[in-house]
Every structure is written in C-alpha cells, then in structure tokens.
Amino acid sequence: MENTGVFFNINFDGTKFSLEAPSSLSKLLWQVARQIKYSKPVSNLNLFHNDRLVKTMLSYKNLLESPGELNILIKEKENLWNSLSPSIMCISKNYIMWYTYSLLPGRLENLLIPSHSVCFTFNKSFPRIICADQHWEFNTSSYTIIRKAPMQTCRYYFASILIEDFIYTFGGVNKEGYTTDSERYSYETDTWTYIENCPLPGRSGMSTANWANLYIFLFGGFDGLEYSSKIDKYCIYSGDWYSISLSLPIHTQYLGAFETGRGILLFGGKNNKDYYLFSPEEEIIIKLGALTNAVPLRFSQNPILINSEYFIVNQSMNVLQYDLDSESWKNGFDFYNLNEINSNP
C-alpha cells in the first residue's frame, strides 16, 4: 500500500479508530467497512471532514494534502424511499408487476412494454423501464406510463446500472451487431449522453456492479462467438476505462453481481452455480461456495437492496434473496401468481 503520511481519526456511530490514509477514497471506505464489520455496500458510507462531504477522488486528493492528523466522520446514507413505492419489478407479456419496499404486491396490465425490458427504481422518483429505443416512467401515483427520453443508440441485451441520479448502459446488440456503445442518463435533465465506449469486443449479457460510487465493473458477456471471462473497470468521475489483469474463473453471461462491504459478490450466470467474492482493492477472486437453489441463475435485472437484504429477479421471474448480515441465500417469492390472469394481488 502506498504510504501517504496522513493519519485519519475515524468516527463511525461512536466507534473510533485511527489509520493511515490510503491513496484512494474507495480503498479508505473499504478499509473502514472491514474495520467496523459493515456488511452493506461500501457506497452506503459517506466521508465528512469539517462537515463537508468528500465524495470524489479530487476532493479526497485535496484532503490528503492537509498536514498532520485529520478528524473524519463516516456516516451511513439515509434511505429516502417510500415503503409503498415499487422496488422489485418484473415485466411479462400480460403485466407490469412489482413488490413495494414493504413487500406488498401489485400489478398493472401491460399493453406496451416488452418483457425483456430493464427496470430501475430511483429512491426519490418513479421507476423507469428501458428497452431498445424506448424509455418509460411508471407513475405509481396515477398508475400511468409516461414516455421519457430514449437512449441515443437503439440496443438490446445491454448491461446497465443505476448509481445515484444516473443510469449507465454498456454494450449490447444493435442492428449492426455487437456494440461497445455506452451512455449515461441524467434523471435531473432527462437526457442521455455518450460516454467512452466500453472495451472491445462488443458483448451482450454483460453484468455490472457499483464500487463505492466511484467505479463500475463489467463482467463477462457474449460477443457472438464465445462467452467472456473479462473484467473491465470504468471510473465514473474521469470517464476512463482501466484494464484488469484478473479474469473471472468462468466464461459466462448474465452473471449476478452486487456490492457488499467486503467486495463484489458474483454468482450464477450461464452454466454456473458457484458464487465468488471479488475484491476490487486487492484484485483477487475467492470462491465462497455453491448455490443449491433450484431456480435458474441467469440475471438481467439490477439487484435491489432493502435494508440489509438483496432481491435479485432472474430471467424466469423467480426472486433470489441474499442476507448481508448472515451471508446466506434463500429462494424468495416469485412473480408467477401476479402473472396469472385471474389472480388478485
């Protein structure tokens, strides 16, 4: 580890300790999470110095230029979601279906939206649904579908992730074949902006994971000829891509992936039932075990975190659950009953 010569006195919810500041903000948050045995995502932690939020690499670098010891306050981010708002969503040919943050079911007849669309649940706004050159907002107050700005490049089977007020999309398949096109959507302006293309080759079915709200990792995918074991790293603030010499232990697509306090958990995907911990700061992958769940393990929706439990919808409308505190898996509910024509959610 690079020595910075700067020492932080850390305070997290009354727990106090000191450490030498690492050279990067993501590594500091990861070290803090390990020290306090924090199981939730590293990106849930905010760093404050003199009541000012330090959230970018530039602001952290400026902090490291301060001499001596610094008092640092770490706070957990506040949940802003409404308990009755849709969180876990699934689209079928017949219905838009959901469970709220308090796990109450609901559905709306689907007359418009393709079943392979990807759903996003903003903390402070209505859910969004994206497919190809279409983008909708699901108004959960009036139960209406409102069109929003579409991606600039019409694509299917792209990788995607929601981070704070932005949706990022990478690769997929367009009318010309497999593409590396990448875009970012702003909730505030309802606009899409091209960002630096993801690394070659173009792939469909890639998986994404957030790391500390600073980096996005891409995993695997299919380029039309073979399945990939690649890992790519995108810096949110600089817009640069970085090569990762480490590869996945499998060649796969539609891998499950989500952020924890220890690293990024990777699981399932095509022809795989094992699950692994990927440590972005150490660049190592550790096999943790095998999934004994009977449900299919191909995932194209973004995992949803409610309190300390992840909910992941697979491509067969089953929901897999993972408890961060107990580090345990279970088969959750599914959307089959909500998809029955005569059912009453």
Q: Do domains 7-76 and 155-291 have the same CATH topology?
A: no
Q: What is the mean pLDDT of residues 325-333?
A: 89
Ordered by start, the domain boundaries in the chain are 7-76, 155-291
Residue 303 has pLDDT above 90, yes or no: yes
Residue 344 has pLDDT above 70, yes or no: no
Report the C-alpha gap between 201 and 174 in whole angstroms: 14
Helix (H) / strand (E) containing 334: strand 328-334
Confidence of residue 333 (pLDDT cuts 50, 70, 90): confident
Out of 3.30.450.40, 2.40.110.10, 3.30.390.10, 2.120.10.80, the CATH code matching 155-291 is: 2.120.10.80
In the chain, the percentage of residues whose pLDDT exceeds 70 is 95
Extended beta strands in 110-220, E state? 118-120, 128-131, 134-139, 144-147, 159-163, 166-170, 173-174, 177-178, 182-186, 191-194, 207-211, 215-219
As assigned by CATH, the class of the 7-76 domain is alpha beta
Digit-coded pLDDT (tens) for 78-90: 776 776 677 899 9
Say what the pTM is: 0.94
Residue 70 has pLDDT above 60, yes or no: yes
In the chain, the percentage of residues whose pLDDT exceeds 90 is 74
Predicted pLDDT of residue 343? 56
Residue 49 has pLDDT above 70, yes or no: yes
